[in-house]
Structure 1
């Protein structure tokens, strides 16, 4: 199971685009409403989550995804339950993916220490002991980070690649006509 956490003020593109790509890959993913069942994104688009935070469990968990956006990132970070899911993934060698401002949450938790990472410019100082690469998408171990909405496709493709392999990711790239997206 993959959980994509949504909190009021999330960046819509950073959530919906990877969600679409992951579902095309036929991976099991659920959106999790952190601040309720229905939230508005940073641009006022309402989205109804598949489940609420109280219904999320660690059973068969493979990955969590944290979209950025403001104040979505701050709302994710202040959730003790989201923090607990991040800790669980880090301690049990599960995948963690974060885009835009959301890698700052991982930085505050020390999870980017001695790791290569990327994020929205200006948030790199939130991971003082990591190595900011300024890449569109970066993977170091079981952590995937991305710079922002403009690389949401590549972020989604990278998630599929690490879970199902490059061939499956490339097939989705081709099917979506994203010739220069990897």
Structure 2
């Protein structure tokens, strides 16, 4: 079974987190939500309280191994992710192991800070481009380059979720789920 980790910090954008979570879980992907705050309870940028499955410091070595690592945007959540050294270590290891890393809205700044966008095409929320160090900024809403997926913001959260799913599931599963969810974008 494919596995995903979705990282949450206070101030995350709830749709950017929950749309991909919903898509991946419906498709049978084993997705764990991981709080980087030290508490399981995390508050979104719009004051929606979510209880994460696990705290980052509780992740076992086995639990920390995933097929994709997902970073939702929102502020100050993205900055908190950018300042979280244990998360950086996981992302650098994931990159070294050829795993997928996906970030939306302001969260691609985390990947820029770690040098994971160098020479890659990427996108982010308007105004955050300067933090995508070494990236070639795209005009697309969702961009895949090598093993990195980036997306512009909340309006493309479902596109982002499906871009991730396409890398974890077969085409038939993806198309069946799109039909079930009445998702009409290509």
Global fold match (TM > 0.5): yes
Out of 110, 116, 125, the residue aligned to residue 130 of structure 2 is 125
Aligned residues: 181
2:141 — aligned with what? Answer: 136
1:26 alignment partner, SS class: coil
1:53 aligns with 2:56: yes
2:111 — aligned with what? Answer: 106
How many angstroms does 1:81 deviate by? Answer: 0.9
Deviates more, 1:132-141 or 1:159-168: 159-168
Cα distance in 2 between the residues matched to 1:40 and 1:57: 24
1:16 — aligned with what? Answer: 18
Out of 137, 162, 179, the residue aligned to residue 174 of structure 1 is 179
2:4 — aligned with what? Answer: 2
Q: Which runs of 4+ in 1 moved over 6 A?
A: none
Out of 41, 48, 62, the residue aligned to residue 67 of structure 2 is 62
Deviates more, 1:64-73 or 1:108-117: 108-117
1:158 — aligned with what? Answer: 163
The gaps in structure 2 that reach 5 residues or longer are none
The gaps in structure 1 that reach 5 residues or longer are none
How many angstroms does 1:134 deviate by? Answer: 2.3
What TM-score do the two structures reach when normalised by structure 1? 0.95
Deviations 1:73-92 (A, max 9, x none): 01111111111111111111
